[in-house]
């Protein structure tokens, strides 16, 4: 365990489930400044809006992506690296729990982003 300082104004609302940190593996979010081995702070109480970066579970896998909810209730998970494709899920995937938005990424700790 490590202590990570995050300014109060960056966290957003804090509820029953406290914010937590996750180490990221991979390059799919490099354009958002989230590089391989970055640490992201996730607030499960923060409202996730269109275009926000969030931690999402897909089955037993975890991923960090931009979130876009469609009018029909479907969900697009969009990477910040053109080498990766977006992922699309229908509203049934969300209703069944296959895909679940865990929380909003509110802070990033890692190497400076690279241009691509």
C-beta atoms surrounding 6 within 10 Å: 14
Q: Is 85 a catalytic residue?
A: no
Please say whether the beta carbons of 29 and 23 come within 8 A: no
Which one from 25, 38, 65, 83 is the annotated catalytic residue? 65
Separation CA 110–CA 92 (nearest Å): 35
Q: Considering 25, 28, 91, 96, which one is annotated as catalytic?
A: 28
Distance CA 1, CA 57 (A): 22
Torsion of CA 26, 20, 31, 48, to 10 degrees: 120
Q: Is residue 28 annotated as a catalytic residue, yes or no?
A: yes
Catalytic center residues: 28, 65
């Amino acid at each position: 365990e490590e202590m990570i300082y995050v300014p109060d104004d960056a966290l957003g609302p804090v509820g029953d489930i406290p914010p937590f940190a996750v180490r990221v593996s991979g390059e799919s979010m490099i354009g958002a400044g989230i590089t391989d081995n970055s640490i992201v702070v996730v607030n499960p109480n923060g409202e996730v809006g269109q275009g926000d970066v969030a931690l999402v579970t897909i089955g037993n896998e975890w991923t960090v992506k931009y979130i876009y909810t469609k009018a029909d209730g479907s969900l697009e998970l969009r990477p910040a690296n053109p080498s990766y494709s977006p992922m699309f899920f229908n509203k049934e995937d969300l209703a069944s729990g296959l895909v679940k938005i865990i929380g909003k990424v509110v802070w990033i700790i890692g190497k400076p982003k690279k241009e691509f």
